[in-house]
A and B are shown apart, each in its own frame.
Chain A
């Protein structure tokens, strides 16, 4: 039962966020993946697709997670064989478009894990407004 809920809950949360109206634009989050905190520095990475179905640009300003002390928006670029990682001030999803957070590109950097979580909740904010919350099981690797 717990496993079933774990599968259903993320989809349910996205659905609720998309239908809740108010100030939140209709947003769909998919392909959510959070890596375990790697031993040593305790860093995790988060990857997801964010689709903005509204007619206004969606600006994600920050992300929080109860399982981590700090979450930042980052982008990796590889140019001339040199990998660079930089924080992003915000993430803009144009109307009708999807922004993909993926390995070697834009991603979430999750720091200071509270524990070794089995599941992680990510809450995406636009300023003070909670846009969407999603829970995902932590993927074991490699």
Chain B
């Protein structure tokens, strides 16, 4: 978590510097288009090594993320509000980009922060509901933390009584580049229009 905050502080500082630099440009210089919502890392950070299984039960490692852009979200199927709202938003964004003819539209990957309940079978049903091309990753808690902790992604199981529980979790969405590196993040309430604006800028697609 501290690492994530440090990254955000660093990026915000650099963004402020860039804004000042842009502000000094002459009146005739068109301002370069900048992301509205994304926080871009000054240097992309390689995803850590991990070994999880996808919704088909196939082992997936860091190599899974190479060769295409991905949006990475951390959530769980027993979450009725934030997780489906985020996944529905991301699905609408990628569908809109495809309809606009954009190239390099990111794939959507859900990483379960509730691996105890989120079996591959359950995740397969859940993730396909939001789009046939979506993927989900799960495994035992230790294996999930090998991916989440180096990225500063927090999750914690919270008992609710009657043997029930919920999971507090980071709500950010990470953008991972085709080299398998964490390149940018979206935090706060996600707006479809912001992501549709930002993603082609970040992926260099049109």
Contact = CB atoms under 8 A, between A and B. Distances in A.
Interface residues of B, number: 39
A30 B131 CA distance: 30
Nearest to A108: B80
A107 to B, nearest CB: 5
B39 to A, nearest CB: 11
A78 B4 CA distance: 16
Contact of A74 (B80, B126, B171): B80
A38 B126 contact: yes
B3 interface: no
A107 B85 CA distance: 12
Contacts of B170: 81-83
Interface string B24-61: 00000000000000000000000000000000000000
Interface string A35-57: 10011110111000000000000
B80 A45 contact: yes
Interface of A: 35, 38-41, 43-45, 74, 76, 78, 80-87, 103-104, 107, 109-110, 141-142
Interface of B: 1, 4-5, 77-82, 84-85, 87-89, 91-92, 95, 117-118, 122-123, 125-126, 128-131, 154, 158, 160, 166, 168-172, 187-189
